[in-house]
Amino acid sequence: MPELPEMENYRRLLQEKIGGGTITATHVQREKTINLPPAEFARLLQDNRLTLVDRRGKHLLFHLESGHVLLLHLMLGGFLYLGSAEDKLKRTAQVTLSFGERLLYFHGLRLGYLHLLTNVQIDERLAPLGPEPLDPLFTFTRFTELLADKRSVLKTALVNQHWLAGIGNCYADEICFHAAILPTRTIPTLSLEEQKRLYHSMQTVLTEAIRFGGYMQPLFQGDSLTGGFDERCQVYDRGGEPCPRCGQPIEKSELSSRKVFACANCQH
């Protein structure tokens, strides 16, 4: 599932490519992906200008001149492609938005959604989300305050969107590896020094992942940024491979039906 770095990469690229553009047509292949009848969805979007592409956690927000906001959550298997009618991918898009000759294809939204909401509805929908890990206001002091109220396993907390917004399976494991802490540790056992390492690793890993475009496939033809972090993952989805730090095999386990990847030798 796309996480904070992937959605932030999408946000930056889409703002650059179609920000300020006007929606000239819509096509809905799967009605369950949207929250309105297709005719009403199309009517409200037609000739509406995209004023801003924003992000909150794992969500993208497409702010429109009308005051409405398109809220996107890709969930498992979802991805975007920006192209033309000629270079579209050979698979079905659940929704397509046209910006003149540029078409934004929403693929893989069997579990994800694209909902058209008012600003009030957006605030209500996103209110339960926790703080943004890369927000300048999210200081180490604020992080320790969050940790003080938690008794759960570390990975379980990191992927809890109500506790922190944007981190999922991949980056929880990558952050814990960078901090040399096992993701299966319980939070009350973390020393102050380990808490500092964890906070620093969170900032470092997420920032680096954004810089290298996350792990998704290219957003458009010629996109050399998106997906660049995939080969830089240290432990996630690398079970059995040698640890890049100590050479011991990376172990794959399961925690509450979630895959966990870690090095039992150099993570403690």
pLDDT tens, position by position, 215-259: 999 999 999 999 999 999 999 999 999 999 999 999 999 998 899
Q: Which CATH number fits the domain that encloses residue 166?
A: 1.10.8.50
Whether residue 268 is contained in a domain is answered as no
Torsion region of 232: left, alpha or beta (phi above 0 gives left; psi -120 to 50 gives alpha)? alpha
pLDDT band at 66 (very low <50, low <70, confident <90, very high): very high
Mean pLDDT to the nearest integer, 43-63: 98
Q: Which helix (H) or strand (E) holds 94?
A: strand 93-99
Out of 106, 127, 148, pick the residue that ends a domain.
127
- State whether 167 and 254 are in the same domain: yes
- State whether 109 and 189 are in the same domain: no
According to the model, what pLDDT value does residue 84 have?
95
Q: Which CATH number fits the domain that encloses residue 21?
A: 3.20.190.10
- State whether 44 and 78 are in the same domain: yes
Compute the distance between CA of residue 31 and CA of residue 113 in angstroms, rounded to an integer: 10
Compute the distance between CA of residue 178 and CA of residue 196 in angstroms, rounded to an integer: 12
Q: How is the beta sheet containing 113-117 ordered, strand by strand?
A: 50-56, 59-64, 69-73, 113-117
Catalytic residue among 3, 6, 132, 174: 3
Catalytic residue among 11, 55, 56, 58: 58
- State whether 107 and 150 are in the same domain: no
According to the model, what pLDDT value does residue 122 have?
97
- State whether 71 and 146 are in the same domain: no
| Nearest residue to 70 via CA among 115, 107, 104 | 115
Mean pLDDT to the nearest integer, 70-77: 96
pLDDT, averaged across the chain: 97
Out of 127, 148, 172, pick the residue that ends a domain.
127
Whether residue 135 is contained in a domain is answered as no
Whether residue 73 is contained in a domain is answered as yes
Whether residue 213 is contained in a domain is answered as yes
According to the model, what pLDDT value does residue 144 have?
97
| Nearest residue to 89 via CA among 228, 218, 231 | 218
pLDDT band at 44 (very low <50, low <70, confident <90, very high): very high
Catalytic annotation on 90?
no
Whether residue 267 is contained in a domain is answered as no
Catalytic residue among 17, 49, 196, 258: 258
Query: In which domain, by residue range, is 251 found?
Result: 140-262
If one counts the domains in the chain, the total is 2
- State whether 156 and 257 are in the same domain: yes
- State whether 250 and 169 are in the same domain: yes
Out of 75, 95, 127, pick the residue that ends a domain.
127
- State whether 95 and 173 are in the same domain: no
Mean pLDDT to the nearest integer, 78-82: 98
- State whether 11 and 113 are in the same domain: yes
Catalytic residue among 2, 5, 133, 183: 2
250: amino acid identity, one letter: I
- State whether 159 and 116 are in the same domain: no
Catalytic annotation on 245?
no
- State whether 184 and 253 are in the same domain: yes
pLDDT tens, position by position, 199-214: 999 999 999 999 999 9
Catalytic annotation on 49?
no
Whether residue 47 is contained in a domain is answered as yes
Whether residue 222 is contained in a domain is answered as yes
pLDDT tens, position by position, 140-170: 999 999 999 899 999 999 999 999 999 999 9
pTM of the predicted protein model: 0.96
Whether residue 164 is contained in a domain is answered as yes
Catalytic annotation on 2?
yes
- State whether 81 and 170 are in the same domain: no
